[in-house]
Amino acid sequence: MLTLGKQQSTYDFGPDNPPALRVKPGATLVLETLDAVDGQIQSDSDSAEQIDLGHVNSATGPIYVEGAQPGDTLVVEILDNELANQGAALIIPGFGALQDDIPGPYTKVFHVEDGQIRYGDKVRLPLKPMIGTIGVAPLEPLPTLNLGEHGGNLDTTAVTTGATVYLPVFVEGALFGAGDVHSTQGDGEVCGTGIETDAKLTFRLDVRKDFPIQRPRLENADEWMTIGVDESLKEAIRLSLLDMVSWLQDMHGLSREEAYVLISLVGDVRIGQIVDPKASVRTVMPKSVFI
Ligand code: CA
């Protein structure tokens, strides 16, 4: 199995980053990923205030996918997400939806025991592994903490095992990378972190020439999803809705109006996160309504 170790991590998605690995379309590969603070937090006494913010949210990569050209779509099947047994959630001053109200710092280290995580004596959390950062190189370099049409720090809970992520290709080879895995995270990621953990991710990468997209899309066995990203939550919602309207038109021959109304009837608009430089939003459509 092709494997890329976590020493091959990068802090930006950029068109000129030298590939760490080259693969053919259809390849299956394993990426070992660092937690989002590069292991700087190991116990509750490690202060969230002392984190070196130059070493956060790394992605393992970049991976050059042969044959991927600008205008193509990279197809990323998530086959497995093996979590480490330890992770941390943090309130980092200056981050989070309540940064003025509950500024921190606060550190909580968690351990997996019998397939679940305890939070004090009264709370038990099931594992809900997800990949926070997944993307390709945009035309201009962007830090891995940022997000946009190339993907990046989407922090979207649906990016998990069994899902297929579609990313628009901007540069030759796509230059794919992923990292920032969470053992669990709620929609919104309100304090600014999930349980940030090391992981071992297994992907199959492929290229489609017949499925041009402008922004990330996603599907699993039950749902289609379109992802909008913007500084404004409202604009992010608009972008994800417009993409879902056109996807439903293309897949099912609906008119714009029919697609729009159908989303209103059975689709959900869900927040990825509202705490990074831009918000991420997804429109979720159940496949089951189509007969
Ligand atoms: Ca993240």
- The tens digit of pLDDT for each residue in 44-58 reads 999 999 999 889 999
What is the CATH number for 247?
A: 3.10.28.20
Give the Å distance between the CA of 241 and the centre of ligand 1.
23
Q: Is the pTM of this model over 0.95?
A: yes
pLDDT at 163: 98
Q: What is the pLDDT of residues 244-286, one digit of tens each?
A: 999 999 999 999 999 999 999 999 999 999 998 899 999 999 9
End position of a domain, from candidates 191, 208, 225: 208
Q: How far apart are CA 23 and CA 25, in angstroms?
A: 7
Q: How many domains are there within the chain?
A: 2
pLDDT reported for residue 15: 98
CATH number for the domain spanning 203: value is 2.60.120.580
Residues 77 and 107 in one domain: yes
Is there a single domain that holds both residue 197 and residue 234? no
| Residue after which a domain boundary falls, among 208, 233, 261 | 208
Say what the pLDDT of residue 276 is: 85
CA 216 to ligand 1 centroid distance, Å: 16
Could you tell me how far CA 67 lies from the centroid of its own chain?
24
CA of 232 to the centre of ligand 1 (A): 18
The amino acid that residue 259 corresponds to is A
Are 79 and 51 contained in the same domain? yes
- In 3D space, the residue among 94, 81, 66, 55 whose CA is nearest the CA of residue 134 turns out to be 81
Kindly report, residue by residue over 66-105, the tens digit of the pLDDT: 999 999 999 999 999 999 999 999 999 999 999 999 999 9
Ligand 1 centroid–CA 73 distance in Å is 23
Pick the last residue of a domain from 161, 185, 208: 208
Cα(196) to centroid(ligand 1), Å: 8
pLDDT of residue 262: 98
pLDDT exceeds 90 at position 1: no
pLDDT > 70 fraction of the chain, expressed in percent and rounded: 100
Ligand 1 centroid to 254 CA: how many Å? 35
Domain holding 73, by residue range, is: 2-208
Mean pLDDT of 9-15: 97
Q: Do 234 and 200 reside in the same domain of the chain?
A: no
How confident is the model over 162-184, as a mean pLDDT? 98
Distance CA 167, CA 104 (A): 35
Q: Which residues contact 121 (CB under 8 A, 6 or more apart)?
A: none
185 and 221 housed in the same domain: no
CA proximity to 138, closest of 127, 122, 126, 149 = 149
Q: Is the pLDDT of residue 20 over 90?
A: yes
Kind of pairing between the strands at 21-23 and 59-65: parallel
Measure the CA–CA gap between 257 and 249, rounded to whole angstroms: 10
Average pLDDT, the chain: 97
CA 134 to ligand 1 center in whole angstroms = 10
pLDDT digits (tens, 9 = 90+) for 151-160: 999 999 999 9
Whether residue 135 contacts residue 13, with contact meaning beta carbons closer than 8 Å, is answered with yes
CA atoms lying within 13 Å on the CB side of residue 237: 11
The SS3 of residue 60 is strand
Torsion of CA 112, 115, 118, 121, to 10 degrees: -130
Please give the distance, rounded to the nearest whole angstrom, from the Cα atom of residue 250 to the centre of ligand 1: 32
- Phi-psi region for residue 46, left (φ > 0), alpha (ψ -120 to 50) or beta? beta
Spacing, Cα 105 to ligand 1 middle (Å): 18
Count H helices and E strands in the chain, helices first: 2, 21
